């Protein structure tokens, strides 16, 4: 019992478990924690490795597992379409998203309309001010 209690104590110190309704998620996190604790215990028993704490071991393990992976937020770039005589900006029904012009004034508005040429959601009252500010040559 001594070894099991010690392993449970080490596992509960820095656990990765999350509350989950699905049994297999809980089982996955439990086995993941057990694998990390077992590797930490093996590392501690090895004479070639310097003594380090479990936190240092977990941090080093996380850095090794991530490697060179860098998560980048993917944002949609606002494409500036130059206003040309043959391009017309007409309001159209679109999926509800935040109004671009209201967002600059920190007002929350989710219209179901927008400009089909610019591909941005705009309130009816913001349609003209948005285009005047983006395309001064149109006014």
84 within 8 A of 118, measured Cβ to Cβ: no
Rounded Cα–Cα distance for residues 15 and 68 (Å): 24
Report the pLDDT averaged over residues 65-94.
70
Does the pLDDT of residue 1 top 70, yes or no? no
The pLDDT value recorded for residue 33 is 92
The pLDDT confidence band at residue 75, using thresholds 50, 70 and 90, is: low
Nearest-angstrom CA–CA distance, 90 and 128: 10
Write down the mean pLDDT value for the chain: 83
pTM above 0.95, yes or no: no
């Amino acid at each position: 019992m001594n070894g099991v209690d010690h392993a449970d104590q080490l596992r509960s110190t820095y656990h990765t478990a999350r509350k989950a309704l699905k049994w297999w998620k809980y089982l996955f996190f439990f086995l993941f924690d057990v694998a990390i604790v077992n590797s930490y215990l093996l590392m501690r028993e090895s004479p070639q490795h310097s003594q380090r704490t479990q936190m240092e071991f977990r941090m080093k393990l996380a850095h090794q597992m991530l490697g060179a992976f860098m998560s980048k937020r993917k944002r949609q770039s606002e494409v500036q379409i130059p206003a040309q005589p043959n391009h017309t900006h007409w309001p159209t029904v679109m999926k509800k998203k935040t109004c671009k012009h209201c967002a600059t004034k920190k007002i929350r508005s989710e219209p179901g309309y927008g400009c089909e040429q610019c591909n941005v959601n705009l309130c009816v009252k913001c349609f003209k001010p948005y285009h005047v500010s983006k395309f001064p040559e149109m006014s």
